[in-house]
């Protein structure tokens, strides 16, 4: 199982971190050990003092594929959910300054949270709302219509470089509003109005 992630897929998020809006999907990966599913607890990593949440829509790949044409890409994912791409922001800034890879800031154990999976409608519209609450207050709210690159474009693009396999996950990017969290914070992810996950930072 592979975890693909898309960076800077919402223009407002790219701008809030001072990054250019990309002309093609920015892809990075996390290992299978990064996956955290309920009820596994989440512990604040010892190597960072600036842990950031990044709420995202996450796709589950439903069958193997390679070099998938964009119009056919929807047949290759069957369920989605809301997840968190946790980031050690201070470590990431240090690595970027040195021109080094981001893996230590992005791909550590349990850095990829996913919620409950729900089927994707056969005719999916491009207006999927999702949000993240921290201690009962909405801190991020996004809509798939604001994505720079659509689900189908992302899946097709990834498949040009990597073989997609049943069970692979695709984190499709985070909207503006990323921020820090601390021990004791309660994070809850919503797809429309349905709660998909809840976790406490320990």
Q: What is the CATH number of the domain that holds 41?
A: 3.90.850.10
Would you state the pLDDT for residue 88?
98
Flag residues of the chain having pLDDT under 50: none
Domain that holds residue 167: 3-200
Would you state the pLDDT for residue 16?
63
DSSP 8-state assignment for residue 46: T
Give the tens place of pLDDT for each residue, 130-165: 999 999 999 999 999 999 999 999 999 999 999 999
Rounded Cα gap, residues 132 and 122, in angstroms: 26
Would you state the pLDDT for residue 90?
97
Contacts of 139 (CB under 8 A, 6+ apart): 53, 132, 133, 177, 179
pTM of the model: 0.94
Would you state the pLDDT for residue 130?
96
Would you state the pLDDT for residue 191?
95
Half-sphere exposure for 164 (CA within 13 Å, toward CB): 28
> In the chain, how many domains are there?
1
Would you state the pLDDT for residue 120?
86
In the three-class reduction of DSSP (H, G, I as helix; E, B as strand; rest coil), residue 66 is classed as coil
Peptide bond preceding 39: is omega within 30 degrees of 0, i.e. cis? yes
């Amino acid at each position: 199982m592979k975890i693909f992630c898309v960076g800077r897929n919402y223009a407002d998020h790219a701008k809030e971190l001072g990054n250019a809006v990309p002309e093609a999907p920015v892809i990075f990966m996390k290992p299978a050990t990064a996956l955290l599913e309920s009820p596994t607890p989440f512990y604040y990593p010892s190597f960072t003092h600036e842990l950031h949440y990044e709420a995202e829509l996450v796709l589950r790949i439903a069958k193997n594929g390679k070099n998938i044409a964009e119009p056919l890409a929807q047949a290759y994912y069957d369920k989605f959910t809301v997840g968190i791409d946790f980031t050690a922001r201070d470590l990431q800034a240090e690595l970027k300054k040195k021109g080094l890879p981001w893996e230590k800031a992005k791909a550590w154990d349990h850095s990829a949270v996913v919620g409950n999976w729900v089927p994707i409608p056969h005719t999916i519209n491009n207006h999927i709302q999702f949000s993240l609450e921290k201690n009962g207050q909405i801190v991020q709210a996004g809509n798939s219509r604001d994505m720079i690159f659509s689900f189908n474009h992302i899946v097709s693009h990834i498949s040009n470089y990597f073989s997609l396999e049943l069970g692979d996950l695709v984190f499709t990017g985070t909207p503006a509003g990323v921020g820090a969290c601390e021990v004791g914070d309660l994070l809850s992810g919503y797809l429309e109005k349905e709660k998909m996950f809840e976790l406490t930072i320990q």
